[in-house]
Chains A and B, each alone.
Chain A
Amino acid sequence: MTKLIIILLSAVFINNYVLSRFLGICPFLGVSKKLDSATGMSLAVIFVMLMATAATWPIQTYLLDPNGLGYLQTIVFILVIAALVQLVEIVLKRYMPSLHKSLGVYLPLITTNCAVLGVTILNIDEGYTFPEAMVNSLGSGLGFFLAMVMFSGVRSVLEASDVPKSFRGLPITLTAAAIVSLSFLGFGGVIENLFA
């Protein structure tokens, strides 16, 4: 149980996918302008990360590894995740239109997102068992959520401030992202000592 908590917390804070591993930067910069779209995107990412791990972990463990096909990992994972997200979108559209409305636009965006692929591959590389892999995916998704919500707050403050002309737009956004990311480095080494 302690190990699961450590995995969850370290995925959220220490190995935060956006701010420490620098995966999924595209939606982080692209969709973080408003809080509601940032929330929608993050929820979609959490959802897809969990689904993708649930699908790819068994494929790697029971199909690729026994047959010595581990080197096909990347291409098979991309294929499966893309098909899975499409399937989920169809199912949502049919049975949960309200959820589809709030997540719908973001789902196709993250089919080929590197954060999602990164979670599934790192789950295998770390040698996690299935529950551990799922907890790690949940933590990674929550970490993404945290980063998005925090950064949308930073950006709404930026919007209202008087930025020098040459810094307006992307430069100030990237600078702010760097500072937010720097703050997350402070979490390094916290969790290991928390349960020591």
Chain B
Amino acid sequence: MPKIHIKKGSVSLDMTAMCDVAFLLLTFFVLTAKAKPQEPVEVMTPSSIVELPVPDINIITILIDKPGRVFIGMDNADNSRALWLDGMTSQFNLKLDAKSKSDFINGGVLPVGIKDLPKYLSSDATTKKDLVTKTEGIAVDTSNAPSNELKDWIMNARRANSKASVVVKADAKAPYAVIRKVMKTLQNQGVDRFSLLTTMGAKD
């Protein structure tokens, strides 16, 4: 029986095509990737069948996490965050230094209420993290009294950016009691129309 001779060949391949494809895909993903907006808490939104996209700018985001803590944020279209902060600081008689102000303007959703805001903005990263875990969020109830802090945030946000629409991003397991308070507050502020953020999911 003749022996089978395996020819010793070069194992190197031409990688040019593969390299081309890899970089093509890489370019695609780099260009489509969008930095996730920073949010202080993780929120799992419920799924629904609606297919309306959310606008990217001019939105006031109300974040409600699983235990029912409320946070608020707004994008910085037309420098509205600066106006927003000015409105809030003058209403609550707060004095903030320039660094805190720029911190606020470049931030996303606020992890704390107005009470902890100066402390939060002036502290370092570890203290910030600590504050976020301990914070109770923004106080909300159904009244128009000063106890309803969310009302002031919304009012000043709408003054700062009159085009802004409200988006509620709530966790699927958030208690309805909090949602009801937020909806009532929005209604009292004349915000009759707003959006609920959901992820798309098939229902049938």
Answer yes or no: do A and B interact: no
Q: Interface residues, chain B, CB within 8 Å of chain A?
A: none
Q: Interface residues, chain A, CB within 8 Å of chain B?
A: none
